[in-house]
Structure 1
Amino acid sequence: MKLLLFDAKQYDKDYFDIYSENSEIEISYVDDKLTPETSYMAEGYDGVCVFVNDIVNSEVIDKLCEFGVKIIVLRCAGYNGVDIKYAKNKITVVRVPAYSPNSIAEISAGMMLCLTRKIPQAIEKTKKYNFSLEGLVGFDLVNKTAGVIGTGKIAQQFIKILVGIGMNVIAYDVFPNNDAARELGFKYVDLDTIYRESDIISLNCPLTKDNAHMINENSINKMKDGAIIINTARGGLIDTKALIKAIKSKKIYGAALDVYENEKNYFFNDCSKDGIDDEVLKELLQLENVIVFSHQAYLTKEALTSIAVVSINNIKSFLNGEFLKNEVFYDELQDKIVDFR
């Protein structure tokens, strides 16, 4: 198997080289993201490995098939960047469904505490030898209500942390996990209840055509005054302009964002020399009660190990003709994408 890994960073190379050693997989790395314009690079390869901001639309899939590419290996859980329905019967798609729920849950908690206790502002003040406590009044989380949208593996780890702090947890999921609710001590409610009752709202769901911009002017108006929004899922879940407006008007207290709806041109890259052209992102970054990370919530040694190991094992299963437990495909009978969640 000759595999071309797109959008490669040094940490990708380090871990994939370790775990592909002594296998039948020969990996080449390119810095470029997979797009219609860069798809030509896949010629001569049997498979491609892509990440969250690569574009695998119908045009790219046709090109890959033309070049004889047999498998698309997603080294991430989300697959919204791949036209899964179009790929049916053309090319196999596999993913890494849960590489490190703990890493994302833990950073979500850290970002939440940064906002509620004004930790970034405190650090900036003391670096300038300003030890005054003016402007640093925060608030306790105990007995506050957290609304968690999406209750998969990541969300369940986050809920454990929230419960440990002493928060009341309510949740919404298209596919409720009642066993998890009983075990972890949270309650399922509808979305309007999440918006109305939550002091903290955390997005932990995949991005689909049905929930794009679910956080918008209308849903924000239903929220408590002073609510906080955390998003470690996908940027497209939030209408950023509506969020900025709500923070400026103090309807929303603040936001902790590991993702951004138009991140693909900037996140994972050093833009400090050339700057950015995205005026919305610039405005977002200037807001005091906003924390923006560059899609780093997953970035731990444990997660990188899991990504590499599961990706390599997905390829090995494909080569050996074994059942692909991590395959993502469109099921015509159910008229939906199946991902064995």
Structure 2
Amino acid sequence: MHVTVYSAHAFEQPFLAAAAGRQHELHFVADRLGPETVALAHGSPAVALFTSDDASAPVLERLAALGVRYVAVRAAGHDNVDLAAAARLGLRVAHVPEYSPYAIAEHTVALLLALNRRLRQADQQLRDYNFCLDNLVGFDLHGKTVGIVGCGRIGGVLAGILHGFGCHLLGYDVQPNPQLVRRYGLRYVGLDELCAQADIVTVHAPLTPQTRYLFDAARLARLKPGAMLLNTGRGGVLDTAAALAALRSGYLAYLGLDVYEHEKGLFFQDHSHEPAADPLLDELLAQPNVLVTGHQAFLTREALTNIADATVANLSAWAQGRAAAHELRPVPPALQPA
């Protein structure tokens, strides 16, 4: 099957090509899918999308008019795809629900430790031959209380890692996992209680209408004073401007992000030779107690292999006239979480 792969990054192309072999002809396109790039899918019955692509109703309508019938999302998150419009147009959509939860969980711990031990400042000072330690004091992770918001596969792996550090674990999830309670002593509590008790809060929630700005100014004000907040889930779960205000006031002591609510069109591209165009992000990056990575938590060889294999498996199922293993359908309003 001929497949137009939008937002095809150099880091993933070898993995996708190896997984596809001779089963599919992949046409790699560096551009994001959007109204101005729809025509690039001409002649392809399938497209493969990334999180930065625009699969809104108008774009899907134009894809369908070109003869596209299948949409393979190379990620777990799919809030950029209008599933209701896809169903109306007869487009089949599938995603990759999981790919090495260890990659994201371990990156979360990397952010935590780098912020706590002030590694960015330490590295810069050392390069300037400044060996003073006065402004590099951190804290023991052992014995601290960590609240995990979203205790699915990634949150579960993170719980195991933090349990190994000797942390006390709190969890919040709409579907509690009793195994985490038995294995790691994690205690499920309400979100406000988690915020009030945790020294560190780490967010692994999907972006839905219910979780958008889950951490707004009011929720941030419920955090324990001096807490650390980490988000490697979805950018829109956090109100970035509110978080910046909490940092400025000193109420929030540390912020670590691998996702950003305005990352579309910014992350995954080199803008180093362009004028700065995002004042909010610029101000965020200027804070000494903030560490931002550009949506790279998933970026391990193992995860890229998982994503490529699952994406190709979805495409192969469709090519053979079967349903893909991980097809997505719109959720009826009556069944959406309150």
Task: State the TM-score, normalized to the length of structure 1.
Answer: 0.95
Deviation at 1:268, TM superposition (A): 0.6
Report the CA distance between 1:12 and its aligned residue. 2.0
Query: Equivalent residue for 1:31?
Result: 30
Aligned to 2:61: 62
Indicate how the Cα distance of structure 1 residues 93 and 22 shifts in structure 2: closer, same or farther if over 3 A, else same.
same
- The one-letter code sitting in structure 2 at the alignment partner of 1:320 is Q
Q: State the match for 1:48 in structure 2.
A: 47
Q: Over residues 7-64 of structure 1, what are the superposed CA-to-partner deviations in whole Å (9 max), with x where a residue is unaligned? A: 11112211111111121x1100111111122222222111111111111111111111
Maintained 8 Å contact 1:118/1:136: yes
Letter matched to residue 81 of structure 2: V
**Separation of aligned partners in 2, 1:276 and 1:107:** 27
- Greater mean deviation of Cα atoms: 130-139 or 183-192: 183-192
Alpha carbons 1:266, 1:276 under 8 Å: kept: no
- Cα distance in 2 for partners of 1:275, 1:121 equals 25
1:145 corresponds to = 145
Deviation at 1:183, TM superposition (A): 2.9
Between the aligned partners of 2:268 and 2:69, the Cα distance in structure 1 is 27
SS of the aligned residue for 2:182 comes to helix
Distance 2:264 2:154 in 1: 23
**Residue aligning to 1:127:** 127
In the alignment, which residue of structure 1 is the partner of 2:274?
274
Other-structure match for 1:304: 304
Deviation at 1:178, TM superposition (A): 2.1
Structure 1: 5+ residue runs without aligned partners?
A: none
1:313 partner letter: A
Letter of the 1:213 counterpart: Y
Structure 2 counterpart of 1:41, one-letter code: L
Q: Is the 8 A contact 1:330 1:336 kept in 2?
A: no
Q: How far, CA to CA, are the matches of 2:36 and 2:22 in structure 1?
A: 33
Equivalents in 1 of 2:139, 2:179: separation in Å?
32
Q: 2:257 is matched with which residue?
A: 257
Partner of 1:114: 114
Which residue of structure 1 aligns with residue 287 of structure 2? 287
* Percent identity of equivalent pairs: 36
Q: CA deviation at 1:185?
A: 2.4
- Distance in 2, Cα, partners of 1:194 & 1:336: 24
Matches of 2:50 and 2:192 in 1, distance apart? 33
The Cα offsets for residues 84-123 of structure 1, whole Å up to 9 and x where unpaired, read as: 1221252111111111111111110011001111111111
Scaled by the length of structure 2, what TM-score is found? 0.96
- 2:144 partner amino acid: K
3-state DSSP class of the match of 1:255? strand
- Aligned residue pairs total 336
Does 1:233 pair with 2:261?
no
Q: Give the aligned partner of residue 94 of structure 1.
A: 94
Give the 4+ runs in structure 1 shifted more than 6 A.
none
Name the structure 2 match of 1:21.
21
Note the residue ranges of structure 2 that are not aligned, 5 or more in a row.
Answer: none
Considering only aligned residues, what root-mean-square deviation do their CA atoms show, in Å?
1.4
How big is the shift at 1:336? 4.2
